[in-house]
């Protein structure tokens, strides 16, 4: 089967990948782009472990063909860190609160939480719960995840208002 040249931006970096058109974005990210942080928990859109942001929208990378990301901008968990020695406030808060246990759902939940906080830095508990309703975590009972997102949101909002004042 002939391969297609896929050109896209992943975590800010331009990538050209020769891919078969029947491959999912998830498989291509993991196997062709070398980004194995995004996980395959079900491959049918039910668990959210493969959540990535495509052109500003969180999607299940398993429910999208890689060819459909032609020209798109994709963000994965590997692109969360603002700098090489710096963590995103969510990453810090997840560590602090014990929001990651086995960690398999963590990349998808971090991406979903980032999207949520980017839209709404101080979400209510209901909004956090609703925002994560497509991400399954089987280890934590979610409690620590909610705590971590609230903490990160508060810190991000505080940092933002400080930078506005400055």
Partner 1 sequence: MTKQDFRIVGKSVKRQDVIEKVTGEGRYTGDYHLPGLLHGKIKRAEIAHARIKHIDVSKALAYPGVKAVLTHHDVPKVLHYGSPHPRSASCTKDQYILEDKVRFWGEGVAAVAAVSEEIADEALDLIEVEYEPLPAVLDIDAAQQPGAPLIHDVGPGGNLVIPPVHIERGDVEAGFAEADLILEGVFEGGRPVPTYMEPNVCVADWDGSGKLTFWTSTQTSFMVRGALAEVLDLPQNKVRVLVDHMGGGFGAKQDLFQHEFLCALLARQCRRPVKMEFTRKETFIAGRSRHPFRMWLKQGFRKDGTLTARDMKIVYESGAYGSHSPGVTNVGTASATSLYRCPNVRLDGRAVYTNTPIAGAYRGYGVVQTYFAIDIQIDEAAERLGIDPAQMRLLNAVREGDIAPSGHPIVGRGLEACISRGIEAFDWPGKRAAGRGDPANPAIRKGWGIGCEMHGSSAYPGIREQGNATVKMNEDGSVTLLTGAAGLGTGAHTALAQIVAEELGVTFESVSVVHGDTDVVPWDIGAFASHTTYLVGSAAKMAAADLRQRVLARAAERLQESPEHLAMVDGVITVQGKPGQTLTVAEAMGPSRGIPAEHLIANGTYMPTKSYSFAAHFVEVAVDTETGIIECRKVVPVHDVGRVIHPIAAQGQIEGGIQQGIGHTLTEDYIIDRSTGRSLNAGLVDYKMPLSMDMPDIDTIILEAAPDPGGPWGAKGVGEDPIIAIGPAIANAVHDAIGVRFHHYPITPEDVLNGLRQKQENA
Partner 2 sequence: MRRFEYHEPATLEEASRLMGTLGQGAFLLAGGTDLFVEIRERLRSVAHLVNIKRVPGLDRVEWSDRDGLRFGALVTAGQLEASADVAARYPNLHAAMRALASIQVRNRATVIGNICRASPSADSIPPLVADGASIETFRPEGGRSIPLAEFFTGPGRSVLEPGEIAVAITVPPPAPGSRRAYLKHGRRKAMELATVGVAVSLDTADGICTGARIALGAVGPVVLRAPQAEAILTGSRLDAATIEAAARQAMQECTPISNVRSSADYRREMVGVLTRRAVTQAMEQAA
Where on the chain is the footprint of partner 1 (CB under 8 A)?
22, 30-31, 35-44, 46-47, 49, 76-78, 80-81, 87, 90-91, 94-98, 100-107, 110, 128-130, 132-133, 135-146
* Residue 66 per-residue DSSP state: G
Reduce the DSSP state of residue 123 to 3 states and report it. Answer: coil
Binding status of residue 68 toward partner 2 by CB under 8 A: yes
Tokens for 14? 């331009």
Minimum distance between the CB of residue 21 and partner 2, rounded to whole angstroms? Answer: 4
* Residue 40 per-residue DSSP state: -
* Residue 24 per-residue DSSP state: B
Could you say which residues in the range 44-63 bind partner 2, by CB under 8 A?
44-46, 48, 51, 57-60, 62-63
Minimum distance between the CB of residue 76 and partner 2, rounded to whole angstroms? Answer: 14
Using CB under 8 A, which of 8, 10, 17, 27 touches partner 2? 27
Do residues 75 and 39 lie in contact, with contact meaning Cβ atoms separated by under 8 Å? no
Q: Of 63, 91, 68, nearest to 78 (Cα)? A: 91
If the CB atoms of residues 21 and 56 are measured against partner 1, the closer one turns out to be: 21
Q: How many Å apart are CA 86 and CA 8, to the nearest integer?
A: 25
Q: How many Å apart are CA 126 and CA 130, to the nearest integer?
A: 6
Binding status of residue 28 toward partner 2 by CB under 8 A: no
Interacting residues with partner 2 (CB under 8 A): 1, 4, 20-24, 27, 43-46, 48, 51, 57-60, 62-65, 67-68, 112, 130-131, 133-135
């Amino acid at each position: 089967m002939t391969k297609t040249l896929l050109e896209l931006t992943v975590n800010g970096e331009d990538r050209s990948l020769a891919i078969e058109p029947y491959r999912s974005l998830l498989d291509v990210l993991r196997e062709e782009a070398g980004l194995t942080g995004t996980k395959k928990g079900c491959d049918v859109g039910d668990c959210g472990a493969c959540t990535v942001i495509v052109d500003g929208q969180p999607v299940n990378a398993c429910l999208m063909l890689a060819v459909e990301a032609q020209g798109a901008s994709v963000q994965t968990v590997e692109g969360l860190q603002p700098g090489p020695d710096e963590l995103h406030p969510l990453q810090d808060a997840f560590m602090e609160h014990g929001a990651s246990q086995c960690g398999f759902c963590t990349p998808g939940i971090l991406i979903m939480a980032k999207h949520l906080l980017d839209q709404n830095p101080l979400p209510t508990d209901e909004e956090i719960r609703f925002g994560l309703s497509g991400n399954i975590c089987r280890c934590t009972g979610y409690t620590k995840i909610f705590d971590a997102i609230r903490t990160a949101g508060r810190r991000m909002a505080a940092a933002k208002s400080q930078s506005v004042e400055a």
